[in-house]
Structure 1
Amino acid sequence: MFSTSDKNPINTNLILKELQKQMKELQTSIRQIFSEIRNRKKGENISKFLSVEEVADTLSLHKSTVYRMIYTDKLRTTRINRKLFIHESEILDILNDKLRS
């Protein structure tokens, strides 16, 4: 369909690799969600993942502070399509640690 003489040839291999990478990330996220659903107790609510912005608002912090906590391994994250999410239990752990101090 496209010849190599086109000025902007479509590099289908790069597009395919990027799509495969995104599919793997999505599959991993879906597996994690289903695993969490299977492991929850009867009647227990499904736990919630919050974005960096939501965590910053919840803890009254700046987004850069939350990112610093992530990169210094004080907060564990889950990456879904290039976006970081923090499990609500992580936030509760931080709040409990602050209360104990």
Structure 2
Amino acid sequence: MQIVIMVLKFFSHLLFFVILSGSASSACFVDYKAKKNNPLRLHYGVVEINGSQCSLKEAHKLVEIRIAEGDWLLLEVMSLFDENGLEKRKISAGKYFLLY
């Protein structure tokens, strides 16, 4: 009986960590290139999107809408990544890092 209880405790802890790690990894980030005309200005930026919308097609729509608030035109969605890719993009994105 004690073995059964130990096994149940083990699996309940395992389930807890699986659920916890699943919610932590739901963050999704996009890096993109955008432009403004007259005069021509370009920028590279990083945006966070909902993990359930983490596809190139959805990211393109969302980034396009968000950056339009600043009168920017989306040129390219470059990639999708999780929080592990944030630090290496932070300097390149500058003031456009998680701005929109």
Question: What TM-score, normalized to structure 2?
Answer: 0.37
Larger strand proportion of the pair: 2
- Identify which of structures 1 and 2 has the higher relative contact order when contacts are C-alpha pairs closer than 8 Å and 6+ apart: 2
More helix per residue: 1
- What is the TM-score of this pair, normalised by structure 1? 0.37
